[in-house]
Every structure is written in C-alpha cells, then in structure tokens.
Amino acid sequence: MENLHQDIENHYFKEGLYEDIITRLEEQDIDVSKVSRSDIAGVDEFHVRGAEVSKELATRIDLKEASVLDVGCGLGGPCRMLAEVYHCKATGIDLSHEYIRTANKLSKLVNLDDKTTFIQGDATQLPFEDNTFDVVWTQHVQMNIPNKKEFYSEIHRVLKDGGHFLFYDILKKGDGEVSYPMPWASSKNLSFLLKTEEMDDFLTALGFIKEQSTDQTQAGIDFFDVLVARLKEFGPPKIGLNVLMGETTKPKLMNLLSHLKMGALELKSGVYKK
C-alpha cells in the first residue's frame, strides 16, 4: 500500500506548483497582494466542471456555518468557497504533500487561511475523532482508492449522527474496458473505478440513507465540448488544469470525454445522510 500511495502522489506531483501559479498570475498583471478566489478558480478545483459544480453541490443541503471535511481536497478550492460563501469551518485532507503545501499558501494568498485548514493524510485512515463533522464532501477521489470499504467507513465514522455525505464522482458504467491515460491515472494500476450501484451498496451497508442522486454526465460532456472549442480558438489558458497536468492535459481530458460519450464512464453527484 505504501508503494501505491507513493505512485499516486507521484502521478499528481508537480514541483513548485504554488510558485508556478504566482508566476502565471503576475503574467496576467494581477496584483498578487490582491488576489481573489475567482483569479485562481481555473486551477484550484481539479474535477470536471470545476468551481461551477462545487457551487451547485453546495446548494443541496443547508451548509451555513457547518463543519466540513473535504476528503481528497486537492488545492483546496471547494474549502475556500465553503468558508467564504457559507461561513463553514472547512478542513481539507489530501495524500499529496505538494497539493497541501499549495492549498495552505493559496488560502493565505486570498486571506482565507483563518477559515480553512489543510493537512496531508490518508483518506482510509482519517486523523479525526468519531462524530467530528457535520458534512463530509468528496469530488473525484475514490478512483485512486482500492479499499472502498475503508474509505466509506472512515467517512461514516467521522460524520456526526444526522450529518451528510456529499459526493461528485466519476464511475464506471457497464463492463467495457477503460483505456488510459486519464486525469487520475496514467495507467490502470492506479485506477480503481467502481459502479454507481456498488458505491450505493457500500454506503447503504454502513447505514447511510440516500437523499439525492443526479446524473451529471451530459453536463460534463457539454463542459468538455465548450472547453475543446475554446482551446482550439484561444489555446491553453494561463490558469487552468494544464497547470496541474502539463503536456498530458489534452490526451487525458480527450480520453475522459470519449469514455463519457461512449457510455463507459459516467458522472454522478449525490447526498447521503448518516
């Protein structure tokens, strides 16, 4: 498992990530002493539809002043949104040391470091007491985790009774083969996709009650179609997912899009209650 964790961290690793973001902001003549969340929104939400879908997910329940844990928080964009817009006490955890270093620095950059906390850690061994959070939130994370039972059990454990689990995920659909690279895995040895019904089985067995489920696949396809058109016309943005994936951005995103269109993968979001 230790080797797998290192391989996954290596997959996402980009040295000097925060410094690269600062350089790109300066190249756009943005005063780095006055950076807003919107200035970095193109890079700090590493999932299909980015900040747009996080805002949508946040409307599903009453989040005002909730204590929220974002499992697999990446660069911390959703935590900062929840802290600023909903006055949440937002905590993020991620396996990547570089992502956590960058998340903390970005929060300080936009003056939200007093409302957000980011720590490096394992999603299957959460370093929190039982019944700690009102909400656990996760987006595009479980694909890198082989032990789904441990993953969802830990989410259940740290949630308060009556708390909510909100998710937005890429899931396998059907029994066809999935080809790589993908944004979350350059090869199949880092990818552990499951189907919607399998995820529901895990959550139901733990005692979760499904409250909402939304098929996000077409919205994701539409997002990619617009993105591809913009890339053809204007080239890669200064602040975008290309900052995280570099030269592999196009093949990974185009491969994901083709799998969504052919029905091999799907995007789902939902809400479960403990």
The pLDDT of residue 232 is 83
Higher pLDDT, 237 or 190: 190
Q: How many CB atoms lie within 10 A of CB 32?
A: 12
pLDDT, tens digit (0-9, with 9 covering 90-100), for 23-64 = 999 999 999 999 999 999 999 999 999 999 999 999 999 999
Residue with tokens 């058109």: 229
Per the CB < 8 A criterion, the answer to whether 137 and 70 are in contact is yes
Mean pLDDT of the chain: 95
Of the pLDDT bands very low, low, confident and very high (cuts 50, 70, 90), residue 228 is confident
What does the longest C-alpha to C-alpha distance in the chain come to? 52
Structure confidence by residue, pLDDT tens digits, 209-227? 999 999 999 999 999 999 8
Cα angle 10-11-13, degrees, rounded to a multiple of 5:
60
Counts of helices then strands in the chain (DSSP H, E): 11, 7
Question: Residue 118 has what pLDDT?
Answer: 98
**Neighbouring-strand partners of residue 119:** 93
Average pLDDT over every residue of 131-144? 97
Contact 17, 102 (CB under 8 A): yes
| The pLDDT of residue 235 | 81
Q: CA-CA distance, 185 to 7, in Å (whole number)?
A: 10
Sheet hosting strand 133-139, strand order edge to edge = 116-120, 89-94, 67-71, 133-139, 159-172, 265-273, 209-215
Rounded distance, CA 250 to CA 161, Å? 43
- The yes-or-no verdict on residue 148 having pLDDT over 90 is yes
Q: And the tokens for 100?
A: 């956590």
d(CA 137, CA 155): 9
The domains found in the chain, sorted by start residue, are 2-273 (3.40.50.150)
Whether residue 173 is predicted with pLDDT greater than 80 in this model: the reply is yes
CA pair distance 47, 183, nearest whole angstrom = 9
In Å, what is the CA distance from 41 to each residue of 38, 70, 81, 210, 227?
5, 17, 10, 30, 15
Give the residue ranges of DSSP H helices in the chain: 2-12, 17-27, 37-40, 50-58, 77-86, 97-109, 148-158, 196-206, 217-234, 242-245, 249-262
Q: pLDDT-derived band of residue 107, with 50, 70 and 90 as boundaries? A: very high
pTM of the model: 0.96
- How many other β-carbons are positioned within 10 Å of the β-carbon of residue 31? 9
CB of 118 closer than 8 Å to CB of 100: yes
